[in-house]
Amino acid sequence: MQRTPQDALTRLMDIRHALHQSGLDGYLLPVTDEYQGEYSAAYARRVTWLCGFDGSAGILLILPHQATLLVDGRYTLQAQQEVDTALYSVYNSSEVTVASLLQELPPGRRIGYDPWLMTGHQIDRLVDALDGHAMLLSSPNPVDAIWKDQPARPQGNIYWHPLTYAGRSHEDKLDAMAEVLRNKKVKGFPLTTPDALCWLLNIRGDDIPFNPLPLAYGIAWDDATCNVYIDPSRVPDEVNACLKGRVQWRKPEQWQNDLAALVPGERIGYDPEQSPVGIRQALIGQGVVVVPMANPCLLPKAIKVPEELEGMRRAHLHDGVAVVRFLAWFDGLDSNDVINELQVVEKVEQCRRLSPDYVGPSFATIAGSGPHGAIVHYRATEQSNRTIIQDDVLLLDSGGQYRFGTTDITRTIVRGQPSADFQKHFTMVLKGHIALAQARFPAGTTGGQLDVLARLPLWQQGKDYDHGTGHGVGAHLCVHEGPQRISKRGGDVALQPGMILSNEPGYYCTGLYGIRIENLVAVVEKERHEDRVFLGFETLTLCPIDRRLIDRAGLTDMERTWLNEYHRDVRAALEPFLEGAEAAWLFERTQPV
């Protein structure tokens, strides 16, 4: 999406003119699409088209004489580099909020928003915070009116996710969904997140990058059937045959007609955390009784059944072989070899493509060398691409989609010799990673209660990081999923056996380097003590952590034992699939500390 400074100015002026014509004093434009997804198709990347910011989270507030982009701590450096800061102010959303910006305006200002891009929870919270100071008005999206060459909606493939990988039939899931709806005394529940729809029906697709999803809404009914709003001609006969008549495919334009056809007084479920406020508005306008409730797919999707867990283990075996092949190649480079970030991205992809079950990357590979490593979600482009010079630190965060599972791994490596300061910082991050990996906690514990374990070694040295410690991961679904997480922001969802999360503390030294060590872990039952069940983590990721980067004096005996046992397990799992120089590299890199 090529843009020039003049494009940015012209587009911003056109938006302001459109707002003036509509009688609006401002407009809220979030990065997300109507599916509230992390990754959007090209047609929905409105913020990128308008201002240049290409991150997966953030919101623009456009006013007549001011435009502000709010992003979280992962994206502050990236946003400042991607947008014209003469046109857009950039703030960390933990320090400046939409509400605080609007409260600085004279009272009574009319602020528009697209009801299909904002959830009910977002609007409710903002209305409460404003307390009448400004008026929020549902209105057409002005970007769609001025984006003349806006791309068409994707028409990708839809394919079946077999029972051997899914572990539960779609009939079983639909029956369970219907039981929840009947218990809540609701007729139906709109499904607006494609990953929930895919999990429920055991289907997948390729409408967007990285997440194997078709973009569609659905409605699950209390009779254990489901409407899916997608062009029926896109659905292969094989998928229809597998679904056995439980699903009715309806064209996307029939979605609003079906909402309008609901009987006044009928009870329909609605998830204000995930679903667009436009759905609630449509239901209320039809006289339907809106019943707030969490998406019934959310928790069972997060708790993997044995077949899904086995698929995730299998995916990590394939992925471990691929990443070890890359690392052995990288370590084998001569000091005179010229290599840049984009070449690293391509080489990692080449190594993964050697697996016949590889589908594609699970997110855009982060290969940040030197100062780029300190940009948490950095992505190399032709413009930013940096040569990795001797003694550079390289932060490599990548993942793969396999037909049976999803991976996400970060390793920090050095081309040459690490500095003493770097080794000290790397060791603090490793200590936090090990502390979380070894944790034992009673059932009912949330990820927010565990977050301190990963941060404590850094806190003790007056340091921290601005991203979460762990996110949920889907099984050949989204690499980021809820409701489970490990974060300072907490969350009231208890960790349960079968959930998969990342363990990824980090440290970022602006202008010099970034450090992150990430493995995926599965929550498992560890032991029982009288009437208490204690849980812990099974590490799924299979890849050495570079011993050369550690200040060994900074590790305790217990931490050394964990690292040595982890490396023993990595070698045992991967060695049968490697030979020659790659096998020798693995043997050397998994020797005891």
Is the confidence at residue 180, as pLDDT, over 90? yes
Q: What is the pLDDT of residue 4?
A: 58
Is the confidence at residue 39, as pLDDT, over 80? yes
Question: Is 578 inside any structural domain?
Answer: yes
Q: What is the pLDDT of residue 125?
A: 95
Averaged pLDDT for residues 114-136 = 96
Averaged pLDDT for residues 8-18 = 94
Residues 288 and 307 reside in one and the same domain: no
Averaged pLDDT for residues 413-435 = 97
Averaged pLDDT for residues 126-145 = 95
Query: Strand pairing partners for 250?
Result: 229
Is the confidence at residue 230, as pLDDT, over 70? yes
Averaged pLDDT for residues 8-21 = 94
Residues 206 and 256 reside in one and the same domain: yes
Is the confidence at residue 78, as pLDDT, over 90? no
Is the confidence at residue 2, as pLDDT, over 60? no
**What's the chain's average pLDDT?**
95
Separation between Cα atoms, residue 376 and residue 361, nearest integer Å: 18
CATH code for position 311 = 3.90.230.10
Residues 6+ positions from 94 with CB-CB distance below 8 Å: 72, 73
Q: What is the pLDDT of residue 74?
A: 78
Residues 95 and 176 reside in one and the same domain: no
Domain boundaries, position 208: 158-300
Query: Strand pairing partners for 516?
Result: 506
The pLDDT tens digits of the residues spanning 499-530 come to: 999 999 999 999 999 999 999 999 999 999 88
Q: What is the pLDDT of residue 392?
A: 95
Q: What is the pLDDT of residue 56?
A: 86
Span of 76-90, 294-308, 380-394 with lowest mean pLDDT: 76-90
Residues 429 and 334 reside in one and the same domain: yes
Is the confidence at residue 476, as pLDDT, over 70? yes
Helix (H), strand (E) at residue 533: strand 532-539
Q: What is the pLDDT of residue 175?
A: 98
Domain count, the chain: 3
Question: Is 186 inside any structural domain?
Answer: yes
Q: CA angle, 503 as apex, 498 and 507 as ends, to 5°?
A: 165
Residues 55 and 119 reside in one and the same domain: yes
Rounded alpha-carbon distances, angstroms, from residue 297 to 106, 173, 177, 363, 481: 43, 9, 7, 23, 12
Question: Is 592 inside any structural domain?
Answer: no
What is the pLDDT confidence band of residue 377, given thresholds at 50, 70 and 90?
Answer: confident
Question: Is 221 inside any structural domain?
Answer: yes
- What share of the chain in percent tops pLDDT 70? 99
- Tokens 């008026």: give the residue: 135
Q: What is the pLDDT of residue 335?
A: 87
Is the confidence at residue 446, as pLDDT, over 80? yes
Averaged pLDDT for residues 473-492 = 92
Residues 6+ positions from 208 with CB-CB distance below 8 Å: 37, 39, 40, 41, 154, 156, 215
What's the DSSP call for residue 132? T
Question: Is 482 inside any structural domain?
Answer: yes
Q: What is the pLDDT of residue 5?
A: 59
Alpha helices in 156-303 (DSSP H): 163-166, 170-183, 194-201, 237-243, 254-260, 277-285, 298-302
Is the confidence at residue 201, as pLDDT, over 90? yes
What is the pLDDT confidence band of residue 492, given thresholds at 50, 70 and 90?
Answer: confident
CATH code for position 60 = 3.40.350.10
Q: What values do phi and psi take at 480, rounded to 5?
A: -120, 115
Averaged pLDDT for residues 203-218 = 96
Residues 416 and 367 reside in one and the same domain: yes
In 353-374, which positions are buried (b, 16+ CB within 10 angstroms) versus exposed (e)?
eebeebbebbbbbbbbbbbbbb
- The residue from 300, 330, 345 where one domain ends is 300
CB 204 within 8 A of CB 213: yes
Separation between Cα atoms, residue 44 and residue 579, nearest integer Å: 45
- What share of the chain in percent tops pLDDT 90? 91
Residues 286 and 368 reside in one and the same domain: no
The pLDDT tens digits of the residues spanning 563-581 come to: 999 999 999 999 999 999 9
